Amino acid sequence: MTVQDAQPVSAEVLLPCRDLDETLAFFTGELGFRIDTIFPADDPAVAQLSGHGLNIRLDRNADAEPGSLRILCREPVANQLTAPNGTRVELVPADPPLVLPPVRQSFVVTEMADEAAWGVGRAGMRYRDLIPDRQGGRVIASHIRIPDGGPVPDYVHFHKIHFQMIFCYRGWVRVVYEDQGPPFVMQAGDCVLQPPEIRHRVLESSAGLEVIEIGVPAEHMTCVDHELMLPTAELRPTRDFGGQRFVRHEAASATWHPWRLDGFEARDTGIGTATDGLAGAKVARLAGLSPAEPAIYRHDGEFAFLFVLDGGMTLQAEANHILKAGDSVVLPAGPGYGISGCTDDVELLEVTLPAFR
């Protein structure tokens, strides 16, 4: 069996680096390489670059010795070879399959924190991790902030993802999506479903923009598309992307209906329909006065997430948790959780996998 039997399509050189930002700036600014892939978005550790006929993988966690050569193959026939000089030669899939870690549910409460909880992620955006244990790597929830308004240094890109949605929490952001028409502005309360591998770009934002992003799996690739220009000429709002359709939900035109919990109403974002029940997202609020008795929240799915958009409430679990705007909670399936002590202005973002029928 030879390397040729694996039908190589390209190769990349693995270069360890301790400071990814500094090394990336040198390779792109001084040497003229371009970024092809960078991940994970909330704390970049790996960047794949190309230029001058060479592919390079900068890895913050790679060992300094020995070097490695990765050969990207359509059909890998071996895991690793070793050259006479000790160089490791890895044969890896050119298009690796998306891996979904098994469901590992846990109860997680994350409170709105100070500036120390925010890290710098892709394109200079600030990230706050809402689920530190990532439910075993199954899901990531990020509170993302762009402090300064104006143009965003983003590029046309896509995500290798199972599920991903963006909810505009505060401020506004102008974005553009493949086959979905000209750029548009998301206002506070709006959200989008980003189906797998749809090309998109963030163009500009207000100062103090904040969004909530939910993604499955927790660690996934962000891939740059150097060829596609956005917006695309063709408008295809019902296009299928990996079994899902793009959704743009606008809060200003939404209708409210009774929620599952007594005394509450909700607006449905349409994500459940567009994903054929894979996931769902709603915004809930009091329909009148706060109920005298606790409303009982329960589910039997793999994931249920509540983010307090406004106001406050008390969540009754093993202990009482007083939640306020900016706080969030992940609720495992099975037991019921009491919701009480709601302020008149309480508003919740609910994201579930699967969608409630």
Give the strands of the sheet with 303-310, arranged side by side.
Answer: 108-110, 328-330, 303-310, 347-353, 280-286, 264-268, 257-258
Q: Quote the mean pLDDT of the chain.
A: 92
Containing 25, the helix (H) or strand (E) segment is helix 20-25
Architecture of domain 253-353: Sandwich (2.60)
**Is pLDDT above 70 for 83?**
no
What distance in Å separates the CA atoms of residue 348 and residue 338, rounded to the nearest whole number?
15
DSSP assignment, residue 133? Answer: T
Identify whether the C-beta of residue 127 lies closer than 8 Å to the C-beta of residue 143: yes
Tell me 26's DSSP state: I
**208-234 pLDDT tens trace:** 999 999 999 999 999 999 999 999 999
For residues 33-49, average pLDDT: 92
Q: Which CATH superfamily is domain 3-93 in?
A: 2,3-Dihydroxybiphenyl 1,2-Dioxygenase, domain 1 (3.10.180.10)
> 3-class SS at 107?
coil
Place of tokens 């709601």: 342
Domains 108-249 and 253-353 share a fold: yes
pTM recorded for the entire structure: 0.86
Q: What is the pLDDT of residues 236-254, one digit of tens each?
A: 999 999 999 999 999 999 9
Residue 66 — pLDDT band, cuts 50, 70, 90? low
- So where are the chain's domains? 3-93, 108-249, 253-353
Q: Which residues pair with 39 in a beta bridge?
A: 46
Say if residue 293 is exposed, middle or buried (CB neighbours under 10 Å; 0-12, 13-18, 19+): exposed
Superfamily of domain 108-249: Jelly Rolls (2.60.120.10)
